[in-house]
Amino acid sequence: MSESLYVGVDLGGTAVKVGLCNANGDLLRTHEGPTQAAGGADAVLSNIATYVKELVPPGTPEWDNVAGVGIGIAGFLNIPEGIIDFSPNLPFKDVPVTRIMEEKIGKPVKINNDANVAALGEAWGGAGRNVANCVCYTLGTGVGGGIILNNRLIEGSTGMAGELGHLSIVADLEAIQCGCGKMGCLETVSSATGIIRMAVDAVERGDRTSLTFIEGEITAKDVIDAARDGDEVAQRIVSRAAFYLGKSMAAVAVVVNPQRFIVGGGVSKAGEFLFAQIREVFDKLTPGNARNGVEIVAAELGNNAGVVGAAGLFLRA
């Protein structure tokens, strides 16, 4: 086979996942191993090299066809220079990852941040296949985002493009402070953390809700399950998360005008119950030309989005 292949690396604090993709974004196979962060930066980078070579053994025809290795990393990166400035969960500080990994692997290497890479994965090999312009939301602890225009990930002037969780969007009277220091960011209501906070507030306020009887700490899944089961307080919380997601998409629609919004992360598992409400708000707040034909769909790749997107860095970033 002579088709170019691409390796993607999802570098997490405890595990490293590696995957092999073809030029269409199909994930051919994956492999993984421990990060061993306690060993320091060089040990982590050596581990990555080992796992990549276990995934595709050097000397094989497949290895010869590998055009590059992309790595997705949580942290503050200097993307053009390939340096990890700082990472909260990894022993990296001012480490020139691209240069070191190119020496260890003997293939071109690119890095990018984990949220961008996951968005690129969905766009390239998941729910955004064959869509040139799409915007991805990841609803987890925070709200992450990534924007693909003309088939390419956009990064902006300081890598902050697609930081959709920090859209200042909640009405002033209801706004609370975000972890970033600003008031009313989208992720204060539409992340798992935001949903849990609203649920705890409701319980503490004494609202009549089944959430009062949850043993241990309330999770976002508890709230979503209660809403599906007809609990009105839980439904109001999920509706509020959906309202601001839809409103943020209306804003994004007149800025970059995507053809599709892709929503992933734990909260997106609420499914049609959540998506129907997001679509209703989006339709109400978006002008016709930016609204007609725009789809709001669930992400497809789950935990594989990171490796697929990292592999895609060579074609789409």
List beta partners, residue 177.
183
278 scored as a contact of a second copy (CB under 8 A):
no
Nearer Cβ to a second copy (15/255): 255
172 scored as a contact of a second copy (CB under 8 A):
yes
28 scored as a contact of a second copy (CB under 8 A):
no
Two tokens at 228? 């599906």
Rg (CA), the chain: 20
CB neighbours of 188 closer than 8 A, spacing ≥ 6? Answer: 170, 175, 176, 177, 178, 194, 197
DSSP-derived 3-state class of residue 68: strand
Among 164, 196, 234, 311, binds a second copy (CB under 8 A): 164
Nearer Cβ to a second copy (156/302): 156
DSSP-derived 3-state class of residue 109: strand
Rounded CA gap, 204 and 216, in Å? 14
Contacts of 46-49 with CB under 8 Å at 24 or more apart are 46/104, 47/16, 48/9, 48/11, 48/16, 48/18, 48/101, 48/104, 49/101, 49/104, 49/105
Rounded CA gap, 193 and 75, in Å? 20
**With 0-12 CB in 10 A as exposed, 13-18 as middle and 19+ as buried, what is 205?**
exposed
Task: Give yes or no for a contact between 8 and 19, defined as CB atoms under 8 angstroms apart.
Answer: yes
The least CB distance from residue 48 to a second copy, in Å, is: 27
The least CB distance from residue 296 to a second copy, in Å, is: 14
The least CB distance from residue 219 to a second copy, in Å, is: 27
80 scored as a contact of a second copy (CB under 8 A):
no
Nearer Cβ to a second copy (93/182): 182
List beta partners, residue 148.
134, 153
Task: Give yes or no for a contact between 178 and 193, defined as CB atoms under 8 angstroms apart.
Answer: no
The least CB distance from residue 2 to a second copy, in Å, is: 31
Q: Which stretch binds a second copy (CB under 8 A): 8-16, 38-46, 91-99, 152-160?
A: 152-160
132 scored as a contact of a second copy (CB under 8 A):
yes
Window 90-119: contact mask with a second copy (x via CB under 8 A): ------------------------------
144 scored as a contact of a second copy (CB under 8 A):
no
Among 34, 271, 287, 302, binds a second copy (CB under 8 A): 287
Task: Give yes or no for a contact between 317 and 310, defined as CB atoms under 8 angstroms apart.
Answer: no
Nearer Cβ to a second copy (211/294): 294
Nearer Cβ to a second copy (24/257): 257
Among 58, 254, 272, 302, binds a second copy (CB under 8 A): 254
Question: What does the binding site for a second copy look like in residue numbers (CB under 8 A)?
Answer: 132-133, 147, 149-150, 154-164, 166-169, 171-172, 180-182, 247, 250-259, 285-287, 289-290, 292-294
